[in-house]
Structures are given as C-alpha cells and as structure tokens.
Structure 1
C-alpha cells in the first residue's frame, strides 16, 4: 500500500544521505591530505599520507557506486509505481529523488575535483624534482616520468653521468609518487563513467522542479484526496504535515 511505498522510500532516503555524507567526508579528507603533503618536509610523512590515500579512494569509490545504484533503484521503483499509488505520494517521491540525485552529482564532482587537485600537486612536485636532474625538463618528459614510475630516460641518462645524492633522492621520490598518480587516474576514469551513466539517469527524470513549491502542491492534493472521508482527511493531513516537515528538514540537512 501507500504507507509501505513511502516507508521503504524514506529508508532509502536515509541510505542515500549516509552515502552522500560519506563522500563529503572523504572529499574533505583528500583536501586535507593534499594540503599536508604540500607542507610535508620528510619522505616518511609523504609515504604515510600516500598509504592513507589509496584505501580512502577505494572505499569512497565503492560508496559512490553503491549510492548511484540505490538512486537508480529508487528511480525505477518510483516509475513502476506510477498509477498504482496516490499521485501526491508519487510526486513527493519523484521530486525528492530528483533532489537527491542533484546533490549526489554535486558531491561527486567535488570529490573528483579534489582528486584532480591532489594529482596536480604531485605533478608540480615532480616537476620541481626533475628540474634538479634536468633544469629544462619539458611537460612531455614529466608525463613520461610519471607514467614510467621514474624509470625514464631522463633519470637513466643522469644516473649514467654519475648520480649525485640529489638525483638519487629525486628518483626515489618520483618512483614513490607513481602509484598515487596511477590510482587517481584510475579513480577519475571510473568516476567519469559513473557520471555518464548518471547523466542518462537524471535526463530520464526530466527537469528538476522547485522542491518547496512541489511539496506545497503535493500537500494540497492530499487534502483534496481526503474530501470523500472527512475523518480520514483530517488524520491524513496531520500525517502529511509531519512528512512535509521531515522532507524540508531532509532537504536542509543534506
């Protein structure tokens, strides 16, 4: 029935909110890791931050995927229920699902942006380190070094000429950063594919409507639906006020 339909939906809303908040927290931590790495004065600190980054990205990518799949399921279930539940309930559910999709898309973009920022800072660091070996290093050579984990001609030629300690140190640092770059490139590629899938999902939903206006209209429909039974309408209206407040709180909290 309608009650079960909405109860299941609100449980899914809580799960999506939890997923969104988890992605937000991970994004904030990646931002902090990037800042800490920029200020790091020892290889030990950099290595510690790198060890934290990989499992954090893996866990968050799984969370992104699970949340996207849940939103897809919510969308499918809502669409299949059209015509079998009250129009007001259907519209509330459809609109709130669209709002969650939009917020999910926003936090995922922030998450992807922070990964790109971390990668960009690594590239800047590698450039500075390569300039120790070759002051006139080119962007293509930097990219080649990153993709070969330090085992590039730039380093080989420098080592053959008699590797000084700074060159050896730069080589070790670049080799360590290689895995971070690969991890983030893989992560960003996965997110890109998710965004393509997500774009199709949100496109199917049509244009987003203003959340508050939608709820006011839906509440009015609930009252109209109850005109055939006064007592039922009074009780239903009380329930809808409660749900309406919950929806507003959910929207504000997210």
Structure 2
C-alpha cells in the first residue's frame, strides 16, 4: 500500500472543504532575530559601561591626584567599550551587505523590509550610545583642561585658551612646568596635578581619534565642507534624495535620524540631521539638534 502520510501532512481537507497548507518555518529569519537580540544586548552593555565611565570621570576630576586604581578601571572600561563597539560595527555592516544579495535572491520583500527596519533601529541606537560616550569623553577633556588652567594660575603662569591648546597638542607635559620654579608644597601639588591631567588628556585624544575613525569607516557621519550633500530619507520603501546642506567653511558632521517619527536609521541613509562643530584635531564637540 502506498504511503499517503506526506500528502496528508502537506494538504489536509476538513469537513467544510477548506484546505490547510503546512508551511515550513523560516529558520533564516529566526537566525536574523537572534543576531538582532545579540546586537541589542551589546548596545545595552555599552550604555552601562558609559554610565560607569561618567562616574569615574567625576571621581578623577574631584581629586587633585586620584588613585591609580580608578584610572586603571577607566582605561579598562574604555577598552571594553571600543571592543564591543567594533563587534557591533562588524555585525551591522555584515547585515547591510546582505541586503543587496537578498534583493536579487529568493527573500520576500516583506522579510527584506523587516530586516532593513531592524537594521535601521539598531544603527540609530548604536549611534546614540556611542555619541553619548564621545560627549562624555569630550566633557572630561574640557573639564580636565580647565583644571590645568587653574593650577597654572596658582603657580603664577597665566595662559589663554589657545596657548593651552597648543601646549596640550605638543604632547610634552614638561612644557607646563619647565619655567615654573617653586619649593612650596601647594605649588608642587599643583605641578603634579598639571602633569597628571595632561596625561589624561593625551589618552583621551587617542581614544576620541579612534572613535572618530570608527564612525568614518561606518559612514555614520557625512562630512560637508564647502559642498552640498544630499540627505536621504525613508518613505514607502524608497530612498529619496531630498535635503541639501548649504556650503560652510567649517567642518560639519551629519548624524542620520528618522523621518516622520519612524525612528529608523541606516548606516548610510537618513532623515533629519544633527550637526557637531569640529576642531582642527577632528574632535567632535558641542553636538546640537538642527
């Protein structure tokens, strides 16, 4: 007798004459959502690390000569954030690269839209948490620079903001103290703090520069300097070039943000924009909403 079980499993008729079709579960989408959850958890982990970084910044700024343990913890947190961020970046880029393949493959348009939407949401969240990290580092740098300026005033050396920046960019902490001679305990403490803060800033410069390079590699920022750049937005599944930025002599960076409240963002697609003024050292400062 012929085995009819496969036929009955694939197509069954009930008493009303209706037909039930058994559809195989799409394991591809299951794997995709598992990857989405992993990325989401990693972003949440970075957000937690950033809060700990801020606490350590406050402790370091509140003490003239903070314990070495606190600075070691801060350095470990910064390394962990960068390591996790690089993993997220790799996964997001891998997902993005798969879109072109899927458009010419057997994936349905619904699945592709779902994946694009998830990718956009994750990208936006990633940009937000890394921007918060960058802002925390930039604020710490500015406050550390302010402490250096005050300690220099204590030793009798008055500097302008431009002079202080030039000193910091030299990379040599002795430039602060070479022409200051005093045997008083207060001044010696001030000199020690100046050198300590300078070392902190040098580490920050490297960290911020690495972060900037990572964003550039992901094309999360769009540089506009004396050029018009179009900003794309999401609408009915189409990416349309819409906005054009006016030419400016300053460097600007555009964060990509959702349009029409959709809360969507691609690594290289956007809606409205957030700009940040750049310094000569390519350090992102003072972000503001447009």
Q: TM-score, length-normalised on structure 2? A: 0.63
Change in CA separation of 1:95 and 1:120 when aligned onto 2, cut-off 3 Å: same
C-alpha distance in structure 2 between counterparts of 1:62 and 1:126, whole Å: 31
Q: CA deviation at 1:185?
A: 0.9
Q: Does 1:6 align with 2:26?
A: no
Query: Does the Cα contact within 8 Å between 2:60 and 2:66 map onto a contact in 1?
Result: no
User: SS of the counterpart of 1:207?
Assistant: strand
Q: CA deviation at 1:200?
A: 5.7
Out of 41, 58, 66, the position equivalent to 1:35 is: 58
Deviation per residue, 1:123-158 (Å, 9 max, x gap): 111111111112522224433544445301x42221
Q: TM-score, length-normalised on structure 1? A: 0.71
Gaps of 5+ in 1: 215-254
C-alpha distance in structure 1 between counterparts of 2:190 and 2:119, whole Å: 50
Out of 38, 63, 73, the position equivalent to 1:52 is: 73
Residues paired across the two proteins, number: 208
Q: In the alignment, which residue of structure 2 is the partner of 1:170?
A: 190
Q: In the alignment, which residue of structure 1 is the partner of 2:272?
A: none
Q: CA deviation at 1:89?
A: 1.0
C-alpha distance in structure 2 between counterparts of 1:129 and 1:201, whole Å: 37
Change in CA separation of 1:22 and 1:36 when aligned onto 2, cut-off 3 Å: same
User: SS of the counterpart of 1:158?
Assistant: coil
- Residues 1-254 of structure 1 mapped to structure 2, 5 A cutoff: 3-40=26-63, 43-45=65-67, 47-82=68-103, 83-146=105-168, 147-152=170-175, 154-159=176-181, 162-199=182-219, 207-208=233-234
* Structure (1 or 2) with the greater helix fraction: 1
C-alpha distance in structure 2 between counterparts of 1:213 and 1:59, whole Å: 33
Q: CA deviation at 1:169?
A: 1.6
C-alpha distance in structure 2 between counterparts of 1:133 and 1:178, whole Å: 16
C-alpha distance in structure 1 between counterparts of 2:135 and 2:92, whole Å: 22
Change in CA separation of 1:107 and 1:213 when aligned onto 2, cut-off 3 Å: closer
Gaps of 5+ in 2: 1-23, 223-228, 236-257, 263-290
C-alpha distance in structure 2 between counterparts of 1:145 and 1:211, whole Å: 43
C-alpha distance in structure 2 between counterparts of 1:136 and 1:187, whole Å: 29
Q: CA deviation at 1:49?
A: 2.5
C-alpha distance in structure 2 between counterparts of 1:212 and 1:5, whole Å: 30
C-alpha distance in structure 2 between counterparts of 1:156 and 1:201, whole Å: 41
C-alpha distance in structure 2 between counterparts of 1:187 and 1:197, whole Å: 16
Change in CA separation of 1:189 and 1:117 when aligned onto 2, cut-off 3 Å: same
